[in-house]
Every structure is written in C-alpha cells, then in structure tokens.
Amino acid sequence: MYKNIKNREQESNFWISYADLMAGLLFVFILLVGAIVIKYVFIQTDLQAIRTDLEKEKAALGMSEEALKEKKRRLQEITQKLKNTQQENLHLIFQLNSAKAKLEMAKKDLEKSNMQNESLNRFIATKIEEIALNKEEIQKLKDLLFEYELKEKELKDKNRELLVKIEQDAQTLTLKNEELAQLENRLLIKAKEHQALVDELNITKYKIKSLTGIRIKVISKLKEKLKGSIDIDKNSGAIRFSSNILFEQNSFKLKENSKEELKAILEKYINALLLDDEIKQYIDQIIIEGYTNSDGTYLHNLELSQKRALEVMKFLYENFPENRELFRKYLSASGRSYANLIYKNGVEDKDASRRIEIKFRIKNEKAIEELEKFLAR
C-alpha cells in the first residue's frame, strides 16, 4: 500500500509539473499576442502619419519637380514599409493562429489532466479519509490510555491521601483518648465540686427556711401572747389603724377620743415584742409607717404621712417613758405618702389607704451575709 501511495504521489507531481508547463506556454502566448497588438497599433500610427504627409504633399503640388521626385521616393519607401509591415502582420497572424492551435491542444490536455487529477484526488481523498479514520481510532486508544493513566494516578494519590488520613486519624484518636481521659478526670473533679455546691445550697435553703420559720414562729408567739385581744396580720404580724379614727382630715394631731384605745393596743403590742425575751431575741426593728390616699400631691402627702407616723412615735415616748431606751434602739418612724394604696374590686379604697401600720423586722443580717458569701463563690 505504501508503494502505491508513493507512485500516486509521483504521478501527482508529474501532472502538477505538466500543469505548470501549460501555464508557462499560456503566459508566452499572451505576451506574443500583446506584442502583435502593440506593433499593430504602432503601424496604424505610422499609416496615419503617412496619410497626413500625403495630404500635405497633395496640398503642395506647386512644389518643384525635384521636391515631387523626392516625395515619390518617400512614397515608394513608405509603400515598401507598408508591404513589409503587411508581410510581418501576415507572419504574426500565422504565429497567432499557431499559438491558438497550441493553446487549444494545451486546453484539451489540461482538461484531460484535470479529469485525471480529479480521479486521483478522489482516490487520494478516500485514502486520506481511511487514514484519518485509523488516526481517529489510534487517537481514541491514546485518549483511553491517557484517561486510564490519569485514573490510575488519581487512585494512587487517593490511596496515599487515605493512608495519610488514616495515620492522622489514628494520631488524632490517640490524642482524643488522652483528652477524653483528662476530661473524665476534670468531670470527676467538677462532679465533686458540684456536689459540694449542692450540699452548700441545701444548707443555705435550710437556713432560708429557718429564717422564714423565725417570722412564723414570732407571729405565732405574738398571737399566743396577745390571746386575740389585737387583730394582727397573719403573714407579717403587723397591726393597722385607720387614719379616720386617729386623725382629722388633712391633720396630723391625734384625736383626743382615740388616745386611750391607741395606748391600750400599743402597750400590749410593744410589750409583747420588746418585753418578752423569747420574742425579743428575734426582733431587729419596729417601724411605724404612715400612709395616705391619692388625694393631693405626693410630696404633700409624704410630709403629712411622716408627721402622722412621728406623732404616733411621740405618743409612745410620752406614755411609756420607762421604755424610752428600748424605743431608741428598736423604734423608727417613716412616711410613705400614697406609695402603697389599698384597692377593692380594682378601685382605690381611700379610707383604707389612710392608715398607720406598725410592723417589725426579724434579725437577718448574719443570714444575709452568709448568703452573699455563698453567691460570691
């Protein structure tokens, strides 16, 4: 097959050389035709000049005999030139016809050559297509081989990465196990600390319950001591007086007709709190608080409530001089204006809001300090 292709390539080169030769002959023929045309144009130009000269000579018939002879001589020369030119034209026409015949033969040979070239080209194209198909198959095989090599390399890289990752995971797992052991130890320590906090919290809860129980205990003892002679608040142990009973409207002076009853109630209540050692040991302070309703401004009512609370405190000092040392230690008075109004069915009860309350505070400084220390940890 390779030998046939080489022979065909030689034949193709031969026909290409032949075509080049025909193209050269055609170019020579074109140059020859151009030369004939140019020469013909020059001859026509000379004939025109001769005609012009003849016309001039005809116009100058009156010239001398010698001039006429000269003119005839020139005419003969020109005639001879014309004959020579005509012969040259005939020769050129013969050459032109010969060149045309050769050109026609060359065209026929070229057409034949073209037909052969077309057949040869079709054959070559067929073989080139076959070769191209073989090349495509070879390229496909190369591509498959290259793809296989890439996949093999990628698989090797992944295997290496997997091995590295396994090693790293193994190291990480070892570290994690160590960290887990450390965390278990820390968790054990934290559990112990948490249990200690729970224990302290339970103790604190017990102390808070005990502190709450003290107030309940004091109120219970107070009720037992008073034997129902005074109505006290079951939650706070406070007693309450209506300002309508103790004071005139917008006044802080005690009514004369209320002093006897006030003295009797205060004596029992104060004596029960301060003269009974079992109750007194829990008492931190006794507070006299004055309250007003919302009529008027806050500052005016604040001043009025303070004066009323102070008036009750003065009443205690005047009527129980033997207890003044205890009063200085335990007793205080303050005005609250209308800061704590009393409502009934969502509406302010103005009469109930105008009042004097006497309440006590349990000793709890030590318990509060212990709570603060516990919460600060």
What's the full length of the chain, in residues?
377
The pLDDT, as a whole number, for residue 115 is 76
pLDDT over 80 at 49, yes or no = no
pLDDT band (50, 70, 90) for residue 226: confident
Q: Which has the higher per-residue pLDDT, 12 or 208?
A: 12
* Predicted pLDDT of residue 166: 73
Asked if residue 32 lies in contact with residue 96, where contact means CB atoms within 8 angstroms, the answer is yes
Distance CA 90, CA 85 (A): 9
> 108 versus 310: which is more confidently predicted?
310
Closest CA to 270 of 211, 329, 217, 340: 329
**Angle of CA points 327, 329, 333, to nearest 5°:** 60
195 phi, psi to nearest 5 deg? -65, -40
Q: Which CATH number does 227-376 carry? A: 3.30.1330.60
Cα–Cα dist 62/56, whole Å:
12
**Cα 369 to chain centroid, rounded:** 52
Mean pLDDT of the chain: 80
Classify each residue of 308-333 as buried b or exposed e, where b means 16 or more C-beta atoms within 10 Å of its C-beta: bbbbbbebbeeebeebeebbeebbeb
pLDDT band per the 50, 70, 90 thresholds, residue 131: low
CA 53 to chain centre: 105
- pLDDT surpassing 60 at residue 208: no
pLDDT of residue 356: 94
First to last CA, the chain: 102
Q: Which of 57-61, 320-324, 327-331 has the lowest mean pLDDT?
A: 57-61
Tell me the average pLDDT across 117-138. Answer: 69
DSSP element (H, E) containing 358: strand 355-362
Q: What angle do CA 322, 289, 313 make, to 5 degrees?
A: 25
What is the arithmetic mean of pLDDT over 326-339?
93
Tell me: the pLDDT tens digits for 88-109? 777 877 877 887 787 778 677 7
Q: Report the alpha-carbon distance of residue 230 to residue 223 in Å, rounded.
A: 8
pLDDT at 3: 60
Lowest model confidence (mean pLDDT) among 164-168, 243-247, 281-285: 164-168
Distances (CA, A) of 246 to 70, 172, 181, 240, 338: 182, 84, 76, 11, 18
- Residue 362's contacts (CB-CB under 8 Å, 6 or more residues apart) are 211, 214, 215, 218, 282, 283, 284
Lowest-pLDDT range, 73-77, 176-180, 356-360?
176-180
C-beta of residue 241 within 8 angstroms of C-beta of residue 355: yes
DSSP structure string for 104-144: HHHHHHHHHHHHHHHHHHHHHHHHHHHHHHHHHHHHHHHHH
Cα 312 from Cα 184, distance rounded (Å):
67
Q: Characterize 225-260 residue by residue with b for buried, 16 or more Cβ atoms within 10 angstroms of its Cβ, and e for exposed.
A: bbeeebebeeeebbbbbebeebbeeeebebeeeeee
d(CA 51, CA 55): 6
CB 262 within 8 A of CB 316: no
Question: What is the structure's pLDDT at 369?
Answer: 53
When mean pLDDT is compared across 197-201, 231-235, 260-264, the lowest value belongs to: 197-201
Residue 251, phi then psi, degrees to nearest 5? -130, 155
Q: Is the pLDDT of residue 219 over 80?
A: yes
Q: Quick one: 103 exposed, middle or buried, by C-beta within 10 A (0-12, 13-18, 19+)?
A: middle
